[in-house]
Homo-oligomer: A and B are copies of this chain.
Amino acid sequence: MPPRRAKDTRPAAAPKPSAAGKTTINDIARLAGVSKKTVSRIINHSPLVREDTREKVQSVMNELGFVPDPMARALAFRRSFLIGMVYDNPNAEYIVNMLSGALDSLRGTGFELVVHPCDSKSPDYIEGVRQFVLQQRLHGVFLVPRVSEDQALVDMLKETDCRYARIAAISLDDAARMITTNDREGAVEVAKYLESLGHKHIGLITGPQRYLSTRERGAGFIDTLSKRGAALPAKYIAEGGYTFESGVACAERLLALKPRPTAIFALNDEMAAGVYKAAHKLGLSVPEDLSVVGFDDSPIASRLWPSLSTVRLPIRDMGLHAAAMLLADPARPRPAPVITPYLVVRESCQPPRG
């Protein structure tokens, strides 16, 4: 279906500085007394322009509020001014924050953000991303976990010659294409915190082991406890599914152990909420009988009662860096950003009884 035709019934001579999209590079060239090619050079920050020429043209552009048409530029460049965000992450808070961060980078650049949620379990999702990238001639895309971990997707993007940036728990690619979130460090902090409170019997509820972030978080926690001489017995580790229900089930299993754990670390807040429910059913109070820590600092963390101590990832910053990476001059890649998760201490932990 064709877009409807512009009716063009606007008053002929608006006194306003001309509706954006009206004045063209030709107008600027004529008014500045140069060729359109020179104007084009200035738009594209070419160094091959005399300073006084640049100033003259620039002032005409400013006066008329000229903004070059991204469609025309895209057609000539064979590349649009669109950045794609590709994700399969079901965490809405995560997505919206990341999107805001990316837009922070794009503001004022003339680039816009186009979103592409997908189902990474579908066999043709890569083909879907491929068409997305190719048809819109995207300037670049950034990949959110867990799709960011899919090498087949990345291989397709390379083949397509599409710029990309990946967000993942550890580095999986060239530094110039990676936002590394260091999830491990967040879990290390939790281990130190619980150990410093004096807990000797600690339970861990992980997510599915196929997630890189899960493995990193789990390893950081386990390794740190080991190093501090408080190695976690295997039976104190339960594998959940990042859902509330799995958190309940795993907590029930852990709380039946002898000696009963006095603290449980769940690798996301959903499961930590499940731990609260399981504790409640057993008549255990948080934090008096059981300390709990989550991961993500999702909205639920501060809504629980008592409020949940948890690890926060600076998601907005991650989105900001990802977008900035795609806009950067490939000849001069920016230094890799350092993303650090940190523990948000609330009310859900205290030293063990006795």
Residues of chain A touching chain B, judged by Cβ–Cβ distance below 8 Å, are: 1-4, 6-7, 10, 19-21, 44-45, 67, 69-72, 74-75, 77-82, 92-93, 95-97, 99-100, 103, 109-110, 112-115, 117, 131-132, 134-137, 139, 160-161, 163, 244, 270, 273, 276-277, 280, 299-300, 302-303, 305, 327, 329-330
Chain B residues with Cβ below 8 Å from A112 are 82, 114, 132, 136
Q: Within the complex, which residue of B20, B44, B75, B93 is in contact with A2, where a contact is CB–CB below 8 Å?
A: B44
* Nearest CB of B to A227, in Å: 34
Can you identify 12 A-B contacts, CB atoms within 8 angstroms?
A3-B139, A4-B329, A7-B161, A19-B134, A67-B131, A69-B75, A75-B75, A82-B112, A99-B117, A112-B114, A113-B115, A300-B303
* Chain B, Cβ-Cβ closest to A7: B161
Tell me the complex Cα distance, A139–B114, Å: 14
Closest Cβ neighbor of A9 among chain B residues: B161
Q: Which of A3, A93, A99, A160 has its CB near the most chain B CB atoms (within 10 A)? A: A3
User: Which residues of chain B are within 8 angstroms of A45 by Cβ–Cβ distance?
Assistant: 1-2
Residues of B within 8 A of A19 (CB): 134, 160
Asked whether A135 and B1 contact (CB < 8 A) given A6-B78, A117-B100, the answer is no
A92 touches which of B96, B160, B329 (Cβ 8 Å): B96
- A71, B137: Cβ atoms closer than 8 Å: yes
Copies of chain A in the complex: 2
Nearest-neighbour CB distance to chain B for A15, whole angstroms, equals 14
When chains A and B are docked, how far (Å) is the Cα of A19 from the Cα of B162? 13
A113 touches which of B2, B81, B114, B163 (Cβ 8 Å)? B114
Nearest B residue to A247 by beta-carbon distance? B303
Q: What is the bound-complex CA distance between A10 and B162, given in angstroms?
A: 13
7 A-B pairs with the lowest CB-CB distances in the bound complex, closest first: A92-B96, A92-B92, A3-B79, A71-B74, A20-B134, A92-B93, A71-B75
- Output the nearest chain B residue to A298 by Cβ-Cβ distance: B299
Distance to closest chain B CB from A138 (angstroms): 9
Known contacts A6-B79, A330-B4; A303 and B270 CB within 8 A of each other: yes
Chain B CB within 10 Å — which of A10, A96, A136 has the most?
Answer: A96
**Complex Cα–Cα for A73 and B98 (A):** 31
- Please give me the residue from chain B that is nearest to A329 by CB atom: B1
A3-B77, A21-B78, A71-B71 given; 19 more Cβ-contact pairs under 8 Å: A3-B81, A6-B79, A6-B161, A19-B134, A20-B131, A21-B135, A67-B131, A69-B75, A70-B136, A71-B74, A92-B299, A95-B96, A103-B117, A114-B115, A115-B115, A244-B302, A277-B305, A280-B305, A300-B303
- Inside 8 A of A160's CB, which chain B residues have their CB? 19
Q: Which residues of B contact A132 (CB under 8 A)?
A: 112
Give Cα distance in the complex from A272 to B280, angstroms: 20
Which residue of the partner chain B has the closest CB to A2? B44
With A1-B327, A163-B4 already in contact, the answer to whether A299 and B302 are too (CB < 8 A) is no
Return chain B residues, CB-CB under 8 Å to A270: 303
